[in-house]
Structure 1
């Protein structure tokens, strides 16, 4: 294992935590990231500083790596496919491609028998109005690509509200209109699948968002066992249909009758799984490295209940206070600049019986 190298496309905080987990297992890591001195470079073995679609950089990464993964879902699919011609890439580029387009993603989930909100493709202002009318005047309009943390969205709640310029205001790009889901809770499942097809999943977390950004994740979720089992079963179905290898994060809406609807999936380690770093023997990051490197998957049992809180923007200025709190695990991402809405770190508070 000490002679093996894991290539990671992307040098943000998720790449950083993957590199740390890989090192604990004896693997070398190499990062492909255009930003010099990125968070992952502080802990990885080396960095290729180049664009994600740079042909020479991709060739170098493929030659130097035994297996390649990625830390975010907006990696160019063509780049992932080019890498896969020479070196195994996990999760598979097919999962990356589906997740990058909300219409393809929702369609695929439905094909897997997994429930979602109602949705319509929207490619003009006329289609905005038509889709909204079909949904009774309320819905959420989203860009199909490149949206994250609530960006690239517009919500319509009042059937009488106008939609003028909604299409142009979101860039005049392909959009999707989704029905507003009357959810009572949001949860996520972090699950992993091995090359042999073994699947494990962590306890679903209950998530709270603010301005489209995850603020807190609590485990246990405090919901009916049948609801949690349904979410885990849906995540397992998704992994099997994609012939997936690695960790996935699947977000769900919980309805008042306990049913779940999938919102989206991320083909990577996930923010709502950061709590596993503190409350489980094996974190989602180590689990991902185990999966992509063909090592045995670990049990996902937790030893403590917990609450994970993201440190967003100026929250990082409260670091001293967090460090003084008992049973609290602090992780700072090493980003040089604090900006509003930027994830600077997270803390996980362990809740002892």
Structure 2
């Protein structure tokens, strides 16, 4: 159990790191961040922040010497960066990053543990892409196997005619067949160092252009009927990885059961509602887990919850939301530039409190 006053190191400088740091401060910890040059909004919530390249071994060594435990706020931290740190500082094995950083690896990993992914094929060339189109058909989606998020590095193929306009980008990709589904949903769990696992309620998630726009509770009958099976897979994966902290798996709710989409070994956008809406937020429970503290309860506190992302220029007048009905809880991330498609904050509205 890490005592108050100890130092938590966070790899990454985005809004997830910012909210993790705020929870760490609440629990009496110090926080040091580490990330390359950029709009590192997490720095505002950290006692110190190291701005250096991921492969700067001297900077990493100095960072590690000042930390009692280290975690990450996004899944694309280079594996070499994590390997350069003393492994005793990492409560969660880097294997979780290794699996999640490659879409082909994560699909195979989920399938090996009993999950059902969408039909998919590895694509290393234009010829592979043609073969995948023939075997899996359309509609489908071509994605880079590594990197890319919120719809980036993805090309939708709605028909064989449209496929002629989609060209292999020159890096290893995955081609996935579309799944007919009622809604998408998340399973978010927290796992302690001792292996205790707790789940938050699963939200129905709405997307636009590959980016999450809204998460809703209740999630609907279809999700409720399938969440048990999805949780079983998530727990099995967490145990197999020896995972510590918050882990997220995303699913499609179909007529034939939950179809695995992807995993994120970190706190997740679809869990932002837990700040106001759950007994303990995903951010606080992540800090509790990596520090060896008792986990907090995950029960939902309200009859209904509506979390929406604030994207791009919508952030410029976001404070007007506070005058709207529905008890809005506004979170702005402090980003300097409101670019199109960039998450600038979120707002959570809650219904009547559960008794």
Task: Give the structure-1-normalised TM-score.
Answer: 0.95
Q: What's the secondary structure of 1:319's corresponding residue?
A: helix
> Can you list the C-alpha shifts for 1:206-238, whole angstroms capped at 9, x where unaligned?
100011111000112112433121222221111
1:45–1:37 Cα change, 3 Å: farther
Q: Distance in 1 between matches of 2:265 and 2:117?
A: 18
Q: Distance in 1 between matches of 2:95 and 2:171?
A: 23
Is 2:258 aligned against 1:256? Answer: no
Q: Distance in 1 between matches of 2:116 and 2:199?
A: 20
| Matched ranges for 1:1-353 at <5 A | 1-35=3-37, 38-85=40-87, 87-163=88-164, 166-167=167-168, 170=169, 172-224=170-222, 225-257=224-256, 259-304=257-302, 305-325=304-324, 326-352=326-352
Q: 1:35 deviation in Å?
A: 2.9
Q: What's the secondary structure of 1:146's corresponding residue?
A: coil
Name the count of aligned residue pairs. 348
Assess if the C-alpha contact under 8 Å between 2:100 and 2:264 holds in 1: yes
Q: 1:36 deviation in Å?
A: 6.1
Task: Give the structure-2-normalised TM-score.
Answer: 0.95
Q: Distance in 2 between matches of 1:299 and 1:106?
A: 30
Q: Distance in 2 between matches of 1:21 and 1:323?
A: 23
Q: Distance in 1 between matches of 2:241 and 2:165?
A: 39
Q: 1:52 deviation in Å?
A: 2.0
Q: 1:161 deviation in Å?
A: 3.5
Q: What's the secondary structure of 1:339's corresponding residue?
A: coil
Q: What's the secondary structure of 1:317's corresponding residue?
A: helix
Assess if the C-alpha contact under 8 Å between 1:282 and 1:300 holds in 2: yes
Assess if the C-alpha contact under 8 Å between 1:131 and 1:177 holds in 2: yes
Assess if the C-alpha contact under 8 Å between 1:125 and 1:165 holds in 2: no
> Can you list the C-alpha shifts for 1:5-31, whole angstroms capped at 9, x where unaligned?
100001110000000000011110000
Assess if the C-alpha contact under 8 Å between 1:91 and 1:268 holds in 2: no
1:133–1:275 Cα change, 3 Å: same
Q: Distance in 2 between matches of 1:137 and 1:26?
A: 53
Q: 1:318 deviation in Å?
A: 3.2
Assess if the C-alpha contact under 8 Å between 1:129 and 1:163 holds in 2: no
Q: Once superposed, what is the RMSD of the aligned Cα atoms? A: 1.4
Q: Unaligned stretches of 5+ in structure 1?
A: none
Q: Distance in 1 between matches of 2:203 and 2:123?
A: 32
